[in-house]
Amino acid sequence: MKSTRDETLLCEQLLIWSVLDTQRSLEDGSSRRPGLQGIRHVFFLTAVNFATLGSLTAPVIIGLPRRIADLVPADEHTAALAVILAVGALSAVVANPLFGYLSDRTRGPFGRRHPWIVFGALGGAVASVVLVQAQSLYILTAAWVAMQLLYNATFAAVTALLADTVPDQQRPAAAGVFSAAAYLGTIPVLALAAFFPDHLGIITLVMPAVAIFAAVATVIWVREPAAFVGTAFAGTAARASANPPRAFSLRDAPGFAQVWLQRLFAQTSMALLLAFTLYFVVDRMNTTEVDATPITSANTALGGAAVVIAATVAGFWAARRSNYFPFLAFAIGGLAGAAILRAFATDSVLLWVSAAIGGLAIGTFTAVDLALALRTIPRAKAGTYLGVLNITETVPQIVVPLAAVPLLTIGGADPFSGGADNYFALYLSAAVMALIAACFLPAVRRIAARTAAQQDAISQRPTSQRG
């Protein structure tokens, strides 16, 4: 009953915000921000995020392992998959800031973001078809890299459009819903794999088709701010060409560096916290991989549910308070606590408690951290800065698997299981990363504690006068 009541309150809040946005536009003759249309449009952007992430999830879970099994000998499967995933991750590191920058610089009657949203969705679908049909490891790798590049073009544009069209007081709620979609995007893929285990094409290509539909719907229903479309933007571009702005400069975004570093360490903590769960259960609980699978599955489901709930609830709560600092402190403290609990866990109950706390922490952090970052960046260059911000998510995906190998050997055998892999050291390292992230809390406190009115006033200043 409580869950239903909370969902009703959230829906009512959405409706109220949409009505208030419409009423302000009618009373003023135009929105305070060109193109501002209300929180309801976040759901279109969320649909694109959901479908695009699902499109990239299918190859990782099913598509790539299946195709590799068909193309290389069994003893080369692991190495081939590791190389392809690593190359794809490196592509994502480059792609997001690149396409964010390109979307900032795009000019034309269709706006800055819309062309890239559709281009990425269409191109990603074509690359998905190539991946399913690949007849060599080189083509398979090229298709996966193309998918990463193209879908990251969509990611960069849709995240920047979120920044363009949602005001500060609504951003935590929008970011919460947006982030929750990232974790829900795996569910359709897992369902398709369960119902159609022998049909790789269905498993891999359904979500790309949904992504195209979501991208087109977004272009139709989510208008870009008028200042960045057609002749209005052409005039702005003409003035800018006489004195070209810096594509990226920390002087234009006071506080961005601190937010970026805090996010990097928090994301590294998350990656370490979630690493090697199956093998951890096998070692610590002295069981087989078959028996460990349901424990691991329950752990994943519990953590994922906590992420979705926390991202949504914390997002709406932070939007009402405007002060993000308590949510950041809770999230980072929760990450450290979850990592310490997992380091000491020797049974499923403590593992699941750790998963629940970690999920609540991750969900809360993802909701408020994006909104916090948006307070620091120049609005006209949101794509570029958000692309740079996204590096904090992709780098840990590359570094953590490499760093985990030496971390598992620190201090000898695991003190609880006696196994060769020291999971105690691994998960304590996750806690240390969270504590380092906590060191940046004083640096971002003033930004996090701003009211909506203060943020509006700061946003109107020239970038050189912000702080």
Alpha helices in 59-76 (DSSP H): 64-71
Rounded CA separation 313/145 (Å): 35
Rounded CA separation 61/189 (Å): 8
The reply to whether 392 falls in a domain is yes
pLDDT, average across residues 289-316: 92
- Boundary-marking domain end, from 236, 265, 282: 236
Residues 277 and 226 in one domain: no
- Determine what percent of the chain is predicted with pLDDT higher than 70: 84
The reply to whether 105 falls in a domain is yes
Q: What is the pLDDT of residue 259?
A: 97
Rounded CA separation 430/277 (Å): 13
Task: Give the CATH number of the domain where residue 423 resides.
Answer: 1.20.1250.20
Residues 185 and 325 in one domain: no
Residues 263 and 353 in one domain: yes
The one-character DSSP state at 62 is I
pLDDT digits (tens, 9 = 90+) for 13-34: 443 344 334 333 333 333 344 3
* Segment among 32-36, 41-45, 329-333, 357-361 with least mean pLDDT: 32-36
Rounded CA separation 296/189 (Å): 18
Rounded CA separation 178/359 (Å): 16
Q: What is the pLDDT of residue 228?
A: 66
Q: What is the pLDDT of residue 449?
A: 92
Q: What is the pLDDT of residue 329?
A: 97
Rounded CA separation 454/460 (Å): 10
- Determine what percent of the chain is predicted with pLDDT higher than 90: 61
- Boundary-marking domain end, from 180, 202, 236: 236
Rounded CA separation 177/168 (Å): 15
- Of 130, 140, 129, the closest CA to residue 76 belongs to 140
Q: What is the pLDDT of residue 191?
A: 87
Q: What is the pLDDT of residue 391?
A: 94
Rounded CA separation 226/33 (Å): 9
Residues 232 and 289 in one domain: no
DSSP string, 289-321: HHHHHHHHHHHHHHHHHHHHHHHHHHHHHHHHH
> What's the domain range around 391?
250-459
- Of 41, 44, 35, 49, the closest CA to residue 17 belongs to 41
Residues 54 and 154 in one domain: yes
pLDDT digits (tens, 9 = 90+) for 260-287: 999 999 999 999 999 889 889 999 999 9
Q: Which residue has the tokens 């549910």?
A: 305
Angle, helices 200-221 vs 42-58, to 10°: value is 160
Number of domains present in the structure of the chain: 2
Residues 260 and 334 in one domain: yes
Residues 139 and 270 in one domain: no
Q: What is the pLDDT of residue 390?
A: 93
Residues 262 and 406 in one domain: yes
Q: What is the pLDDT of residue 379?
A: 83
Q: What is the pLDDT of residue 18?
A: 41
Task: Give just the sign of the alpha carbon dihedral 188, 193, 194, 199.
Answer: positive
Residues 320 and 434 in one domain: yes
Supply 276's token pair: 């090697």
pLDDT, average across residues 87-105: 93
Task: Judge whether residue 67 has pLDDT over 80.
Answer: yes
What predicted TM-score, i.e. pTM, was given to this entire model? 0.83
- Of 308, 318, 378, 380, the closest CA to residue 171 belongs to 318
pLDDT digits (tens, 9 = 90+) for 189-231: 888 988 898 899 999 999 999 999 999 999 999 988 876 665 4
The reply to whether 9 falls in a domain is no
Residues 200 and 259 in one domain: no
- Boundary-marking domain end, from 209, 236, 263: 236
Amino acid at 174: A
The reply to whether 143 falls in a domain is yes
- Of 450, 430, 399, the closest CA to residue 334 belongs to 430
Residues 163 and 256 in one domain: no
Residues 386 and 447 in one domain: yes
Whether the CB-CB separation of 14 and 205 falls below 8 Å is answered with no
The reply to whether 169 falls in a domain is yes
Supply 337's token pair: 């606590």
